[in-house]
Structure 1
Amino acid sequence: MSFRNHDRQYDLVVFGATGYTGALTAEHITAHLPSNLKWAVAGRSETKLQNVIAECKKLNPNRLQPEIEICNLNGAELNALAKKTFILITVVGPYSQYGEHAFRACAENGTHYFDATGEVPWVAKMLAKYEDAAKASGAMMFPQMGLESAVPDLITWSLVEIIREKLSAKTGDVTLSIHKMSATPSGGTLATVFNLFDQFSLGEIGSAFRPYALSPVPNPRKVPSRDTLVTKLLGVRTIPELGTLTTSVAGTTDTSVVQRSWGLHASLPSRQQKSYGPNFSFVEFYRARSWFHGILVHFSLALLGIVMVTPLRGIARKFVSQPGEGPDKETASKEEMEQRGIAIPDVEPRPDQIAASRAWYKGSMYYLTGILLSEAALTVLEDDVDLPGGVFTASCLGQRYIDRLDGAGFKMETKLIPS
């Protein structure tokens, strides 16, 4: 398939290609994206970038190899880089510390943008400051396109789609379970968690995580809580189709993105026919081995929250991996992920069928983030995604994106099951 026409030097640039996730993203591009792709790897160290290119050449010596762009984190250099490329993938984090210049440069120069942040308060800040610029320039901006939060967003979209297509209904309650997650966090991920509480006040963090705070349109409906007093206290509940569930460490982050998707599909002219519905709700949990395990996870996360908002954060920071570090390839190759979701059609009485989805991947979770970023960029590069300028989510790329992910090893199946 041919690429969309543009007048830029590059189709795609990976900024931060010498970092842990950046190198894996470059690896996937080398191995799987079209060999005629005009692309570059960008960062501060020419020597390290040369090393990335050398590794890419070993993987696929017959393809067009990337150019090198030396670029620091300042606004002028990122502005110049954004003008050179049709798409920029940035994997330089923590984004709340280093990401604004790249976001602004792309929004103002009509450069399509992808990142792997999970920092919701930073995304809220970028929306407030630069979404109008992106709309004016035509830049399509896709933050949070890594494992957190593209996967739950795509699962939710697929559940809504099958209910719309097969049952001719809107969607009510969606419940997602992080069913399996065996992965070692990189130093960059851990640094991001600590940095978030350095960069934002508790008030700013709380505001960003309010229900539908990132949605482009308000949701006047107050979503009723599904928790009983026991589940609120202990964090554990049982859902027949998903098993014993407890608090998810990524739950609030993923919910913010899914709720933004709800608002985008309700308000974008090209997506309104596929809107989720006025009574839609979403919650995410983590699959527990038992009630005891679930209670332990719930209170461990509560304790982690206390550490993060007290001086204990500074002590804990000394005991984690540093940015740039991550699991070795052999360890990472044994990682695996599975997420499941169910969705209830918004009809009365409750129908005899509900939607169920399962998504899974075996291999490095950081390589999966590289897949999610690269295949999303390829979708924008090859397809008419029918989006204006603005800030979007993974679900806005629809089925073509999911099909590309399937070809790259990320699998998802969605079907109707008896209620």
Structure 2
Amino acid sequence: MSQSSRQYELVLLGATGYTGKLTAEHIATYLPTNLNWAIAGRNAKKLQDVVDELTKKTPDRKQPAIEICELEKGVLDVLAKKARLIITTVGPYMLYGEQVLAACAKNGTHYLDCTGETPWYHDMVEKYHETSTKTGAIIIPECGLDSVPADMMTFALTNHIRKTLSTSTSSVVMSMYAFKSGTSGGTSSTALNLFSHYPLSKLSSTMKPYALSPVRPTKPSKPPSANLFYRLLGLRHIPELAGLQTNWPMATVDTAIVHRSWGLFESIAKDSSRPNLSYGPHFRFTEYMRTKNVVAGSLVHLIMVLGGFLLAFPLSRWILTPFIKKFLIPAPGEGPTKEEMKKEFLHYRGMGIADTQKKEKVMGKLEVPYGGYVATAVTLTAAAEVVLRGDLAATEAGKLGGGIVTPAMLGEQYLEKLREIGMNIEVGI
């Protein structure tokens, strides 16, 4: 079935969950009022409640239809054939994501999600990238807070260096400069479940910097250096990014996605007449979090290292998990309240370094006037508009004709949509 003849432009799967509801609100608020769309899930009453709430907030638009859908292969195949694009916010994706992605890949249906589960992403590339290239399905996992800010900041910086300095980029360093953002029970539980779902060998191999890239660099640039004292404490001092930096919990996930973008653009540049798409043969991405002082930064590093170590082993994980779930993280389905979200924000800083003898530096910033979950709703909504109503054929994702790609493959159009919905993205500052 051709995409033009499908019943819906968009189906949002998981609209009754915490992130799903926010995404439904943003679709209703920012996408064209004549969008032909549906929300899908297992519980008809909860879905109707979502529609009723959307009707109150956006009475001037066409409201979504309701599709009752179990996460089963045959049912999902039917749903995929009805839609041009499916957005799924149903996680953990390692438990509930593969059947949805597989149905989209098989039936030529575009796909977006907001996972941060890198081992799962790795498996999906191995299983379904080739299928989706044949059917024309553009599949973009990690199109939420994981890992749109990092991926699009890198795209913007490398693009600026290429256009203004006529050279490639040696590296991009990004910093979580300042933030206030809560967490949901679903996100927290997913992070815990990764350790029990995958063996350590799998986690280690799939979360290496270039694990998701289709190619490997021969001589990647070196990451920012640090003296022995700072290295022992997990710190870096980068004056251009406001000084002292420590571990950022999302860095490993973001790094894998940015390097997949690098690898995809590198492959296109080598196999086509468009060498200007390459970030650069020596490109490396690194990400940190700004910290106020040595003590605070060292404490973050210690917590992350010790926490990861204890969760890696079954016995200590068995002892810790009940305590973490009871006292440290929200229950599934819970997250920041509407009032709390009004005070949230995310501010990033980035630095691109040209691959020249002078090592010219280009600075950038990405500022989000809301927290992580609203940011995810925004990034999914903006990507959906590019795919459905933008000039998709002009994007690198569209030119590839299908496959498991990254947010950066939606290019300049995606940057502009993110800006339109409220993100401040500047480079060359």
TM-score in terms of structure 1 length: 0.95
3-state SS of 2:343 partner? coil
What is aligned with 1:124? 122
Contact 2:218 2:282 (C-alpha < 8 Å) held by counterparts: no
What is aligned with 1:262? 262
C-alpha separation between the residues in 2 aligned to 1:250 and 1:155? 15
C-alpha separation between the residues in 2 aligned to 1:271 and 1:151? 25
C-alpha separation between the residues in 2 aligned to 1:271 and 1:60? 43
1:355 aligns with 2:362: yes
1:339 aligns with 2:348: yes
C-alpha separation between the residues in 2 aligned to 1:94 and 1:163? 38
Contact 2:382 2:417 (C-alpha < 8 Å) held by counterparts: yes
Q: How does 1:301-320 map to 2 (within 5 A)?
A: 301-310=304-313, 311-313=315-317, 314-315=321-322, 316-319=324-327, 320=329
Which residue type is aligned with residue 308 of structure 1?
A: L
Q: How does 1:200-279 map to 2 (within 5 A)?
A: 200-228=198-226, 229-242=228-241, 243-268=243-268, 269=272, 272-279=275-282
Contact 1:265 1:271 (C-alpha < 8 Å) held by counterparts: no
> Any stretches of 5+ residues in structure 1 without a counterpart?
none
C-alpha separation between the residues in 1 aligned to 2:230 and 2:388? 45
CA distance change for structure 1 residues 285 and 399 in 2, over 3 Å: closer, same or farther? same
C-alpha separation between the residues in 2 aligned to 1:198 and 1:71? 28
1:397 aligns with 2:410: yes
Moved more, 379-388 or 189-198: 379-388
Q: Deviations over 1:255-291 (max 9, x none)?
A: 0000000001111248642210011111100010112
1:377 aligns with 2:376: no
Q: How does 1:186-205 map to 2 (within 5 A)?
A: 186-205=184-203
3-state SS of 1:295 partner? helix
Q: Deviations over 1:72-96 (max 9, x none)?
A: 1111111111111000000000001
More helix by share: 2
What is aligned with 1:36? 34
Contact 1:342 1:356 (C-alpha < 8 Å) held by counterparts: yes
Given the alignment, which residue of 125, 137, 140 partners 2:138?
140
CA distance change for structure 1 residues 270 and 326 in 2, over 3 Å: closer, same or farther? farther
> Any stretches of 5+ residues in structure 2 without a counterpart?
none
C-alpha separation between the residues in 1 aligned to 2:209 and 2:58? 46
C-alpha separation between the residues in 2 aligned to 1:232 and 1:136? 46
Contact 2:346 2:371 (C-alpha < 8 Å) held by counterparts: no
C-alpha separation between the residues in 2 aligned to 1:63 and 1:270? 44
**Taking every aligned residue pair, what percent have the same amino acid on both sides?**
43
Contact 1:251 1:283 (C-alpha < 8 Å) held by counterparts: yes
For residue 317 of structure 1, report the CA deviation from its aligned partner. 3.2
Q: Deviations over 1:92-119 (max 9, x none)?
A: 0000111000010001110000000000
1:89 aligns with 2:87: yes
CA distance change for structure 1 residues 271 and 94 in 2, over 3 Å: closer, same or farther? farther
3-state SS of 2:51 partner? helix
3-state SS of 1:212 partner? coil
Given the alignment, which residue of 298, 301, 307 partners 1:295?
298
Q: Deviations over 1:15-73 (max 9, x none)?
A: 00000000000000111100110000001100000011011111111111100001111
1:406 aligns with 2:406: no
TM-score in terms of structure 2 length: 0.93
Q: Deviations over 1:294-319 (max 9, x none)?
A: 11111111122123213333332343
For residue 362 of structure 1, report the CA deviation from its aligned partner. 1.5
How many residues align structurally? 411
For residue 350 of structure 1, report the CA deviation from its aligned partner. 3.1
For residue 223 of structure 1, report the CA deviation from its aligned partner. 4.7
Moved over 6 A (4+): none
Given the alignment, which residue of 111, 114, 128 partners 1:113?
111
C-alpha separation between the residues in 2 aligned to 1:270 and 1:46? 51
Moved more, 363-372 or 156-165: 363-372
Contact 1:83 1:111 (C-alpha < 8 Å) held by counterparts: yes
C-alpha separation between the residues in 2 aligned to 1:272 and 1:266? 8
CA distance change for structure 1 residues 236 and 124 in 2, over 3 Å: closer, same or farther? same
For residue 153 of structure 1, report the CA deviation from its aligned partner. 0.5
For residue 387 of structure 1, report the CA deviation from its aligned partner. 3.2
Which residue type is aligned with residue 418 of structure 2?
A: L
Which residue type is aligned with residue 376 of structure 1?
A: A
